[in-house]
């Protein structure tokens, strides 16, 4: 590739802008984002806090495309526990774990096509989905029910179906989190994650779904801030060897970084330096992340300062010669080709009705023990701790769904202090309850939840335990009456309530 002409500041600014993909605060575009779009910004990523009503989102998307017709708008719309467009009322789809349990690729493709349709109707160009990690470690705190399962062949066939479904709606799919976040016990939002896979497991298990995504024609792949010892010390996002391996699978689309504001990058090399190293490693599009998750910068709004941190680091690296302008131009060409593909796709003018998935979701529920609710009002103790950052804030759909059948008193334990305090309080609350219910996420991943379960079952062994997350190697307690929901989206919760109360 020839070296692009960057002889003036404006040309250099447009070049580096063309590979930067920030988030922003609020439901209207801030001035800095409008200016950056006019100056060639690659696009913007929506998070829950950017989403208003359907007409409001469409108008926002139209404004972005007016300022830069080539801009690519992205969103994390996985379905299930990760939704932005349906965050207010809960996802209409149950998430990958339920689809994997059903193991009907036609259903997965149809659900993904519907998801693509609501993304397209919002004027959005790329869905940061599907999650194709093979969740072989049940302790995994960041993937869990976002995965289709622990069997690489099952995950691979549903990966292909999801990619085809999404892209049939005219939006680009983005398989994540390369090279596979399923064999980790660390959340890369909070620290650098390390894969526990052997070399054979890495190649035969974790790469398998990405190869299938490539075969299905996926337009983008998102990297993980994940260290795979076989590939060296650098996390995949910053690792030329890891990204070269992805290209060797035949992938020539856009490599998107996971958010640079995640602790695995932000608290190690820093966001600006991470952006430079990511491009040098082979990343094409630099996702900055969700500014509302981060502390306000003393010199101004977080969104603008984070964008400037990345932009100025790239400008400095190109000027110094450390980052070849040709490498940035190569990345920009891939992003531009993605934009051209999206613009060429037919799209429905409006989102279709949500699919009827009640039977599939209900069939996915697993019951251990009696799991029968006693008569009378329900007392629900919610012992789930803060969900991972990818999920974001969510309504407690379980209590809402149960409330349609019974009177419910809900107690939330996340402010209970220590794990011992939480266990004591939960046991005390449910000791005299007419119909005790306990909600947990993944007992095997969380000492607080495990302690609460033990304390509650010691006092009230008949308590019905709703397990929202990935199932562990054992049941939540020796005498538990448990309901495994495989997700906590609105449709998952509604199915649990029907099973318990209907």
pLDDT digits (tens, 9 = 90+) for 172-220: 999 999 999 888 765 555 556 788 788 898 999 999 999 999 999 999 9
Q: How far apart are CA 287 and CA 261, in angstroms?
A: 9
Q: What is the pLDDT of residue 350?
A: 82
In the predicted model, is pLDDT for residue 10 greater than 70?
Answer: yes
> Which residue ranges does the chain devote to CATH 3.20.20.300?
9-344
> Which residue ranges does the chain devote to CATH 3.40.50.2300?
365-501
Radius of gyration of the chain (CA): 23
Backbone angles phi and psi of 301, in degrees to 5: -60, 140
In the predicted model, is pLDDT for residue 335 greater than 60?
Answer: yes
Does the pTM exceed 0.85? yes
Q: How far apart are CA 360 and CA 356, in angstroms?
A: 9
> What is the biggest distance separating any 2 CA atoms in the chain, rounded to whole angstroms?
77
* Nearest alpha-carbon partner for 21 in 389, 388, 331, 343: 331
**Out of 3.40.30.10, 3.40.50.920, 3.40.718.10, 3.20.20.300, which CATH number does the structure's domain 9-344 have?**
3.20.20.300
Options 76, 183, 258, 396, the catalytic residue: 258
Options 189, 206, 225, 397, the catalytic residue: 189
Cβ atoms of 276 and 20 closer than 8 Å: no
Q: How many CB atoms lie within 10 A of CB 172?
A: 26
Q: How many CB atoms lie within 10 A of CB 316?
A: 14
Task: Provide the percentage of residues in the chain whose pLDDT is more than 90.
Answer: 78
- Between the alpha carbon of residue 66 and those of residues 8, 234, 347, the distances in Å are 26, 39, 18
pLDDT digits (tens, 9 = 90+) for 100-115: 999 999 999 999 999 9
Sorted by sequence, the CB contacts under 8 Å of residue 396 that are 6+ apart come out as 382, 410, 412, 439
Class of domain 365-501: alpha beta
According to DSSP, the β-strands at 464-467 and 481-484 are parallel
Is 258 marked active-site?
Answer: yes
Residue with tokens 């430079």: 276
């Amino acid at each position: 590739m020839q070296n692009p002409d960057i002889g003036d500041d404006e040309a250099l600014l447009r070049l580096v802008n063309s590979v930067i993909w920030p988030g922003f605060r609020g439901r209207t575009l801030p001035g800095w984002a409008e200016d950056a779009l006019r100056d060639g910004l690659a696009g913007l990523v929506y998070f829950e806090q950017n989403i208003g009503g359907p007409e409001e989102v469409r108008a926002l998307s139209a404004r972005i495309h007016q300022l830069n017709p080539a801009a690519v708008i992205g969103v994390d719309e996985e379905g299930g526990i990760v939704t932005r467009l349906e965050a207010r009322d809960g996802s209409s789809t149950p998430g990958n774990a339920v689809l994997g349990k059903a193991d009907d690729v036609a259903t997965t493709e149809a659900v993904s096509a519907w998801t693509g349709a609501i993304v397209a109707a919002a004027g959005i160009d790329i869905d940061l989905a599907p999650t194709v990690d093979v969740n072989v470690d049940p302790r995994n705190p960041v993937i869990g029910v976002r995965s289709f399962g622990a069997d690489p062949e099952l995950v691979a066939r549903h990966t292909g179906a999801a990619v085809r479904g999404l892209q049939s709606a005219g939006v680009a799919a983005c398989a994540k989190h390369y090279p596979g976040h399923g064999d980790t016990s660390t959340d890369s939002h909070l620290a650098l994650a390390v894969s526990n896979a052997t070399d054979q497991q890495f190649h035969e298990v974790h790469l398998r779904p990405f190869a299938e995504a490539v075969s299905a024609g996926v337009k983008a792949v998102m990297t993980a801030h994940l260290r795979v010892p076989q590939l060296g010390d650098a996390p995949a996002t910053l690792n030329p060897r890891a990204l070269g391996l992805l290209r060797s699978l035949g992938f020539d689309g856009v490599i998107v970084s996971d958010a640079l504001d995640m602790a695995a990058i932000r608290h190690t090399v820093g966001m600006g330096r991470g952006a430079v190293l990511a491009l040098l490693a082979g990343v094409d599009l630099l996702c900055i992340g969700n500014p509302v998750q981060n502390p306000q910068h003393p010199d101004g709004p977080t969104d603008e300062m984070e964008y400037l941190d990345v932009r100025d680091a790239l400008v400095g690296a190109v000027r110094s010669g450390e980052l070849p302008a040709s490498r940035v131009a190569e990345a920009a060409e891939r992003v531009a080709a993605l934009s051209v593909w999206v613009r060429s796709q037919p799209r429905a003018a409006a989102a279709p009705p949500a699919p009827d998935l009640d039977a599939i979701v209900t069939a996915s529920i697993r019951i251990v023990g009696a799991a029968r609710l006693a008569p009378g009002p329900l007392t629900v103790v919610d012992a789930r701790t803060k969900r991972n950052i990818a999920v974001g804030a969510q309504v407690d759909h379980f209590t809402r769904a149960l409330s349609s059948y019974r009177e419910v008193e809900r107690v939330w334990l996340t402010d209970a202090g220590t794990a011992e305090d939480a266990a004591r309080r939960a046991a005390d609350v449910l000791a005299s309850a007419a119909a005790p219910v306990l909600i947990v996420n993944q007992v095997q991943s969380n000492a607080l939840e495990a302690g609460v379960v033990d304390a509650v079952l010691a006092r009230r062994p008949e308590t019905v335990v709703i397990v929202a997350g990935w199932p562990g190697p054992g049941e939540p307690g020796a005498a538990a009456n448990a309901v495994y929901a495989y997700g906590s989206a609105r449709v998952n919760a509604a199915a649990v309530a029907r099973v318990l109360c209907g």
